[in-house]
Chains A and B, each alone.
Chain A
């Protein structure tokens, strides 16, 4: 029983991070119809900046804030300078649909190698702002610490903030309208271009939060967020790329699924576990949990 609960807790911790990454990917997908693999690059760059701030100031919260700002700016910058140029030169032909995706893969490589050139490939570490010793409950240690709580709370705050923005503000309405029906939005006077940039800005910030939150317990290196990217993408696909709540649900499903497989089956099978969870969910729901039939061929 105790193991069941601790598994759930771990699952939620993992899921929170995956949800954040998935949110960032879905935000961009919905507004621009592109899977932004460079998200991981943006996130790792922001995290390294956060690391630099930590080294200089030792203040985690300040470093987090700076990382978020950098991440948001990066997101806006990538959309404005990179994606718009890409779509302007858009071609016809078989690769036309794939071109943006491959371009973001290229951008990921560029950012990653730049990070390596500036900071080097060695592993670094990032101090945690809260104690990382596990809680002791009823005399037994559960694999859950204050850091995990921080991760869950942090991710939850971001998700709640997005939820409020999207559902209850005019900006959110404009973002949704532009994502769902860009032409109608334009005819209604919404400036879809800048709105899209704002969407990417939010995505960039969310990615930065995910990167910074996931690093204290782990190592920091130019490649350390690659796994997160893959898991975030898988989580987004599970939830159905079309919806933000779907991203959160997808992240949780993946996180909890992985936690169970890790705890009850084997600790080294994490990647195959991801594949199994993805496969199962796509068999049951080929367009994702929240996906609808009409968006089959995006």
Chain B
């Protein structure tokens, strides 16, 4: 007989187990629709691998593990994926999460499985791969990915492997029935776990209120090294740390996990899931769930497909809604109230408790703490619940943390015994949430500060770089200037007789100085030359118009520009010498009237010519049309300007003649 220890505190609530442990596990059957949440475990949500409209077979993967801490989800029966959307999931918040909806077809058609007759032919890594592929999460309640928990620790090996069969929570008998009816599976699953971890000893911790299960387990474990250890019934002996204390006398240090003291704890149902995954290749698609409470007519345990709606199950088991006061998922101590029944069962749903008003009466209103100290007497984690309560109520979360708030396992023993009906465990949950929130905020603000400081630094650096560049540029410019100056001076010294190659500024000076010298005579000379050129051009143009129309166009342009030249010089002369310009014999006031008239005529003629060509082009050469149109527009303006010049000249003449 193995020596056992005791843990501090604990309570003895009414067990209420024989309501549901009298009958065999029955099959709940296939509901018309399954709702499968993608997150039924601790860690990252699984990643979808099916789409709406896909037909899926029983055991087919519908969402794969995504990231290191994640668990896959499989189709519990054959059917069609009809929707993938947010739906309420079993969670204390009553909030929604992404779910896959499968309309079942009743055929229950398996996909291809890969059984393995002898697990010892597989390596531990291969077995772990199978466990991961089977989507197994801890079925005791928390839902931690089993594959990760089963990985052998890096440093030292596991000395003690414990199978948690305590099932200390009142009402729940799912593990009890499972052990009674499938003890071999439990033992085989446990042996597979032992094969992976190679522990020094394998213990099954089971409370003494399950004699049939103990007998069955002992029978099944006869030929193995597994020892079934019977422990006294006390809540919460099924808590991982409490069970370790009972079986080994060791305590898990604050903030550490059992693996740190070479101990590992697994749940009974998880062991059977591991067995089925390794032996038959079956993924985790169903589990045993207890249906109990005064409001259920057919109390007992059922093999339920994951994703079966609670409402469907309740209806099937004869739910007396009018009598019901509270619907709880999980046990009465650590479970949570369901706000509605249209939610699915998940991998961690071990019990549906439909309690009557008499069974779970409304809690009395909380009264003042009378400091009786009963809560600290029952606390299995040896905390100071009263103290924690004050800190949580006063929002002194830091102090609560210093009083080891996070060692609280939220078993609810303190609230259970509190004579003032203070919802103590609720306060601790609230405080834990707040502390986590504060820490997350702190981390975020630290990150923001880092980013802000980095940005400031970057802006500063960019500014400096800009400044440095600007400085470099101005220095280079100054140097170039100095070099130029030096060169100029050197040249000036070398040959004083030679005119120095004048810098730009000097050149402009000369221009400015020379400007007055461009006097009337110069301009008049230029004007004469321009007029001469103009007349020559005109002659050439006339000639070309008759013989070479293409050239004529070009020449026309040249004539225009010469005319402009002439006009410019005339203007300059007028500016310079006032009336002198008109008086110059060789330069009468602009081209004579006749000239202007003829000019106008010519332009008009040219316009007509182009218009004709345009008409022609429109019919024969569409690609030339655009070009010609532009030319027409140009010539229109020319005609207009010629007309204007003519009228102006006429007016001038009349004024002159009058004068």
Q: Do A and B come from one complex?
A: no
